[in-house]
Structure 1
Amino acid sequence: MRRDLPEAGWQKSSYSPDNGGQCVERQTTSEGLVAAGDSKNRSLGAHAFTAEIWQEFITAVAKGTL
């Protein structure tokens, strides 16, 4: 299902460098899902995850297991 996400709602990761918008951004949808998208090409849309799955992903990245 495609969702229109507000342009002003995106949050850049604190780990993303300020290099001209080449980073992953996220925002919470009205359904409570976490949407993640490519800041340099938002027309590609976003992938949406439950908060629990998103946290598992973030934890795995931080641990280096992903």
Structure 2
Amino acid sequence: MASLLNTRRGRPSKGPRHSFTVKLDMERAVKLAELLTILDVNGVAYLGPIVEAHLDSVNLDQLRGRS
């Protein structure tokens, strides 16, 4: 019985995460909320990949002047 209690359930962890808060003007916030409703997705699932792709495209060494 103890082995059943120690079994992990659900999907595996993606590891440590950090959350950020973004403040949008009301027009954009309403538009985003409607978009999320239409797509039936939450903000993290929609915005996460967009932010990740942008960050992946940034060359920090170039921005630091070490091209």
TM over 0.5: no
Q: Which has the higher helix share?
A: 2
Structure whose alpha-carbon radius of gyration is higher: 2
**Which protein, 1 or 2, shows the higher relative CO under an 8 Å CA cutoff with sep ≥ 6?**
1
- TM-score by length of structure 1 reads 0.29
TM-score scaled by structure 2?
Answer: 0.29
